Structure formats: structure tokens, C-alpha cells
Amino acid sequence: MLWSPLTPHATIASPSADGRLLLRASSHPMEIIQEFWYFITHLNETLPVFIHDHGAWIYALLFAIIFVETGLVVMPFLPGDSLLFVAGTLAAAGMLDLGLLIALLFVAAVLGDNINYAVGRWFGARVVGWKLFGRALVRRKDLDKTHAYFEKYGVKTIIIARFVPIVRTITPFVAGVGAMDYRRRFLPYDVLGGALWIGLLTMLGYLFGNLPFVQKHYETVILAIIGISVLPMAVELVRARLNKQAA
């Protein structure tokens, strides 16, 4: 369901008892966190409501989410793939302008990656050591995984990682830490990867997001898209490890 009954002047999404989407304001920190989590995990419901309440500000919201996911190494959990698919679906329904949407999100993705690269280049060692509530903001295993991708795919990792959640956020940071050549290697591949990621996933939503089957199984379809994106890289890593053990 892409459209739900609305309450006026609402700001944050939460489900009502009968399953409809309602929006309300909250001041309690835990409620804000819970409602934010609901918002980003039910984008097919919450984004249409946001459009109804705030109109063109939806473009600023989408820009901010993509920019933060790609630009802040400590925010890899934001739903980039599902957001692009849902945004494409809304564009097909006439709620968003497809050309403007793709252009803005492309700029957000590339700009975010470049900020992330700069943070890794100049502050990498410090960021890795940051902790919140006793937990590392940048997990060592995520860094190690991204390093493994670089060892296997080289500079092509910048393109491939675009389609892998978490890894796409860590990759520019690792490239910065490793002082990858910015003009000749990082920037060209980053621009290409950003264009492919934004274009492909947004167009998938635009072409298929409003099909009845997809509407009925939205969460499953999103998970399938993510799984298909991750599968080729996972297979190659397993194959490389097996070959290394056999050698």
C-alpha cells in the first residue's frame, strides 16, 4: 500500500492499531528513535505521507538520506537501496519528477562519497577509534571486509561496492585512508558507480514498483534486490578463498 489515511500537521511515522499509517510528533528520545526506525524501514508507506504533508521538501529529505548514508562512515545502516526503489515507484505514480530525482540523488551520492574519502584521508585513524556507548562506530570487521574487496577487485571495488550495503559506506573511507589517487582513480570510478547505482535501482522501482505482485511483497522484493546485489561479490570472495586454500 503506497497511500494511507493522514493526520494533519504530523511529522513522524508510526503504525496505528488497525494497520494504517499515522504520523505524530514526539519528544521522548526512545520514541523518536523507534519512530525514526519505523520511518526508514517502511518507506513505501512513510514517503507518500511525507509528500502529502511537506510537498517538494521530499527532495531535500531523499537527498539528505543518500548523502548521510554515503558521506558519514558511521551511518551505514540507512536504507539506500530500498529508498531508491521506493522513490522510483513514487516517480512512476506521478508523485515525484523522475529526472530531478535521479539528478539530485546522483549528486548526493557522489558528494557524500567525496566527503567520506576526505574524512578517511585526513582523519581516518581517529575515526576508527571512536566509540559510542562502548561500541566502535566503525567496526573493524567492516573495514577488513572492505580491504578484502580492494585486494580482490582493486579500484573496481568503488563501482561494485555501490551495490553492497555497509560496504558502499566504508569503501570511500578506506580509499581515503589508503591515499588512493583522487583524480585518476577514485573520482572517475566513483562517478561511474554512483550513476549506475542511482540509475539502476531508481529505474527498477519506476518500471516494476507498482506491479501488484511487487506491492503485495514489497519487503521480500527489496531483500531480493539486496541479495542479488551482494551475491556476485560473495561468490567471488568464497572462490578466491577456496583457491588460496587449495594452492
Residue range 91-122, pLDDT digits in tens:
999 999 999 999 999 999 999 999 999 988 88
User: For residue 37, which amino acid is it?
Assistant: W
What span, in angstroms and rounded, lies between the C-alpha atoms of 225 and 197? 12
**Is 132 buried (19+), middle (13-18) or exposed (0-12) by CB count in 10 A?**
exposed
- Domain-wise residue ranges, the chain: 1-42, 56-246
Higher pLDDT, 155 or 26: 155
What span, in angstroms and rounded, lies between the C-alpha atoms of 65 and 114? 15
Do 166 and 72 touch, CB atoms closer than 8 A? Answer: no
Position 195 pLDDT exceeds 80: yes
pLDDT of residue 14: 43
What span, in angstroms and rounded, lies between the C-alpha atoms of 216 and 199? 24
What span, in angstroms and rounded, lies between the C-alpha atoms of 41 and 56? 21
Q: How many other CB atoms are found less than 10 A from the CB of residue 167?
A: 21
What Cα–Cα distance (Å) separates residue 46 from each residue in 51, 64, 120? 9, 16, 33
Mode of pairing for the β-strands spanning 131-132 and 21-24 = unpaired
- Regarding pTM above 0.85, the answer is no
pLDDT digits (tens, 9 = 90+) for 199-246: 999 999 999 988 998 888 887 887 787 777 777 667 766 776 777 777
